[in-house]
Amino acid sequence: MIDTKRMRAIEINSEAFGVPTLLLMENAGRSVKDEIMSRTKPKDAIVFVGHGGKGGDGLVAARHLAGEGVKVKVITLGENKHKDAVLNFNAIEDMDYSIDLIEIKDPSDLKPLEADVLVDAMLGTGFRGKPREPFATAIKVFNESKGYKVSIDLPSGIDADTGEAQGEYVKPDLVVTFHDIKKGLAKYNFNVIVKKIGIPPEAEIYVGPGDVIVNVKKRDYKSKKGDNGRVLVIGGSYTFTGAPTLSALASLRTGADLVYVASPEETAKIIAGYSPDLITIKLSGKNISPQNFEELKPWIDKADVVIIGPGMGLAEETIEASKLIVNYLKQNNKPAVIDADALKAISGTKLYSNAIITPHAGEFKIFFKEEAEKEIRKRIQQVIEKAKEYNCTILLKGYVDVISDGKDFRLNKTGNPGMTVGGTGDTLTGVVGTLLAQKLSPLDAASIGVFINSLAGTLAYSELGPHITPTDVLNKIPVVLNDPIESFKKKIYKRVITL
């Protein structure tokens, strides 16, 4: 089963991958016609057409039914502004020999009808709540009309995700749904058939612009400081100051409201000097140690997400601190991104459902005590199995990034050879951490995060070639977020998996 958000993302991805939604609509409408013709051999049909993509599917079905010699009546219930539906309305507007086109402007004009087939193309997956006019009357009239009743995708009046029906809803003889069964249909005992409409499997497997568009939330006009995420970065050491800084700046660029960087005192002073945008927490000592734990606890509790690891180093006291902090995160099921030195410090530790780890192949070997598989299909299965065994989400970085929560998996191939430069992994943790703070699931935060970070790097690469720096990636993050579809056109890799 599939929810409406995921379905919408897949449709956008499909178009980005070269299969336009107009073609999907054509395939959907034709499949409705095929199912009708295989069951009823109708002489006449009435199609009730509403708004959006479902209305467009109904218009395509009407055209194809007319092409089979069926006398078709199309009843439109208001203007449909969906770009693909408009094209299909234009296609049938002059079909005055085979299609009788009726535009309803007053619901009182709707009366029960009779035909061999009645097609419900009124309210689709975007519908919520109680049907308003003219649809409330149209649904009642549809149910009272005589003929074999077919609903496109799901019956009008039913919430596609919850199955809730607050008012009248269509009671069909058949539901022709597309790609996968919508979750809301599970509450009913309808006769449902699923038709594939040409969406490539890659639109689901690979992260694409659709995932960004439907999941990365827009700021509410009335939002206040903190509503868009509080992120705590624990990292840095006497030697390393850049890594936690890059993570924090990437987090801000991705949209976090507040980002705190907890580092040893002298390190924190240097980090504060990099940018006035950063809030630093100055911990006692030259390296993060168990003595800092009590200092950190209130900040951990306050944050929506904790990023731990960038630039922490592997001093003995820091390794012990990493174990202590991660154990506290686990006890509280605190959403967290565990990266770099912290990941090495807790090698082999069983984690928890809100934890994301972001190893490259070398760190994967250190943590799991085995080499990452070279062959990509074997690597996918390996990541799924390890994520399930260790109860976390794994983002295994590579020329193809593999992401899994132990149940589902995603792939990303929007990177470029320039991303091997040190620091791009630190920007990644900041992006992923912010998305997690904004209440995306760990799988979505990790997969969409690596898509954004890699594509930002590719935009920089397209301008500068293999001379990019992590700060170049930082500057392109907003570009990707503001227009993921246009940014996606800059991707480099076409084919990376071979049989």
**Under a CB-based contact definition with an 8 Å cutoff, are residues 392 and 356 in contact?**
yes
Is 243 annotated as contributing to ligand binding?
yes
Is 426 annotated as contributing to ligand binding?
yes
Segment 158-166 long-range contacts (CB within 8 Å, at least 24 positions apart)? 158/127, 158/184, 158/185, 158/188, 159/127, 159/128, 159/184, 160/3, 160/4, 160/124, 160/125, 160/127, 160/184, 161/3, 161/4, 163/187, 163/188, 166/129, 166/130
Is 17 annotated as contributing to ligand binding?
no
Is 128 annotated as contributing to ligand binding?
yes
Is 115 annotated as contributing to ligand binding?
no
Which residues have CB under 8 Å from 214's CB, separation 6+? 5, 6, 8, 9, 12
Is 360 annotated as contributing to ligand binding?
yes
Is 467 annotated as contributing to ligand binding?
no
Is 129 annotated as contributing to ligand binding?
yes
Q: In the 3-class helix/strand/coil scheme, how is 327-387 assigned residue by residue?
A: HHHHHCCCCEEECHHHHHHCCCCCCCCCEEECCCHHHHHHHHCCCCCCCHHHHHHHHHHHH
Is 311 annotated as contributing to ligand binding?
yes
**Under a CB-based contact definition with an 8 Å cutoff, are residues 434 and 305 in contact?**
yes
| Torsion (CA) 32, 38, 41, 44 in degrees, nearest 10 | -10
DSSP 216-266: SPPPPTT--TTTT-EEEEE---SS--HHHHHHHHHHHHHT-SEEEEEEEHH
Is 414 annotated as contributing to ligand binding?
no
Is 447 annotated as contributing to ligand binding?
no
Is 130 annotated as contributing to ligand binding?
yes
CA 135 to chain centre: 31
Is 341 annotated as contributing to ligand binding?
no
- Residue ranges of alpha helices (H) inside 279-315 are 293-302
Distance CA 353, CA 392 (A): 5
Is 255 annotated as contributing to ligand binding?
no
Is 208 annotated as contributing to ligand binding?
no
Question: Binding site residues for K(+), as ranges?
Answer: 120, 156
Question: Binding site residues for AMP, as ranges?
Answer: 425
Question: Binding site residues, as ranges?
Answer: 120, 124-130, 153, 156, 243, 311, 360, 425-426
Question: Binding site residues for (6S)-NADPHX, as ranges?
Answer: 124-130, 153, 243, 311, 360, 426
